[in-house]
Amino acid sequence: MSLDDLRKRIDEIDARIVELIGERVKVAEAIGQGKKEQNKLIEDRERELRVLKHVRAMARDKSISPSDMENIYRHVIDVCKKIQAVAVAFQGEPGAYTEEAAFRFFGKSTESRSYESLDEVFEAVEAGDVPFAVVPVENSLEGSITRAYDLLLDSPLMVCGEIELRISHCLIAGAGVGLDAIKKVYSHPQALAQCRSFLSHLDCELIPESDTAGSVKMIKEQGLRDSAAVASARAAEIYGMKIIAREIEDNPHNFTRFFILSKEDSPPTGNDKTSIVFSLKHKPGALYDCLKEFASSNINLSKLESRPTRYQPWEYNFYMDFAGHREEKDVSGALKALEEHAVFVKILGSYPKAR
């Protein structure tokens, strides 16, 4: 067979490959529409891993590099996920860390919708305006975001996923503004707290705002030449501002955990976590009686935190995370036993563990 004949054969194969990818995209689009109608997550990491494992196995059978084939298929999967994009609510302005978490979880083609407050984010999903929300619930340095947990207690929404995001703060100001000109620094209170050491060396006033990226936007719109904001590098890029200093957080092990919320939680994947809230009677050993139900079922607890009930002074609710899905036999049994000891138990959701 001549070189021209071989090249013609390649062209024919390429045409078939493109045609098959087109068919795959159409099927993915139908799957995405079905997920939207059922308010299910577009992101299915367990399914994606199974597909890639199968692809690697087929590549080995054909004497093709499994890693090369996986790289090709990751691009194919990304193309398919783009046409499945969903709307996701978040609190803050474009460029906020929560928006970045939404893109990481759902994909870059996600339609992110910003809201001014966490209350409005919850209301948007409850009303059906958007199928999903991403909300910050815990920082590795500063602890829980209490407003998020208070809203979870009262809301019918459920946790259907989680993602952990490495937080790297920048000091951001207008073009031509130097460090010595900064007299005020704006940002979310937790962001300011996470940069205490760096900011303490500046002779400036720290001013709390509701949002990191919103602080950058405000400085840009008002043309403030004596002010800076603590926010992400992406926020500086979005608003055309200058990064004066990078990685100004006190601790490099700075992560924020985000919950993905919807009207339903996720089905079991074999690598899940469950979040609940419960309250107890005032009697000796009440908490012990509850926790032993999980210990006896060999269920690992990853978080236990108390929060005021807000209804009676010095009465508390307990928020708890543990390994396993609520539909699993051991977990279901432990939850039923917990109900016998607790005043009330609310399951916030079962969901795949963050990678």
Q: Decide if 90 is catalytic.
A: no
142-151 burial, b for 16+ CB within 10 Å, e for fewer? Answer: eebbeebbbb
In sequence order, what DSSP letters do the residues of 74-119 get, joined into one string?
A: HHHHHHHHHTT--EEEEESSTT-HHHHHHHHHH-TT-EEEEESSHH
3-state secondary structure of 19: helix
- DSSP classification of residue 204: -
Q: Decide if 98 is catalytic.
A: no
Identity at 294, one-letter amino acid code: F
Catalytic residue among 132, 258, 259, 322: 258
In sequence order, what DSSP letters do the residues of 265-299 get, joined into one string?
A: -PPP-SSEEEEEEEEE-SSTTHHHHHHHHHHHTTP
Residue 139 has phi, psi (to 5 degrees) of -115, 140
Identity at 225, one-letter amino acid code: R
Q: Are 43 and 107 in contact (CB under 8 A)?
A: yes
Catalytic residue among 98, 110, 212, 256: 256
Closest CA to 154 of 131, 126, 189: 126
Cα separation, 319 vs 13, in Å, equals 57
Residues assigned a catalytic role: 256, 258
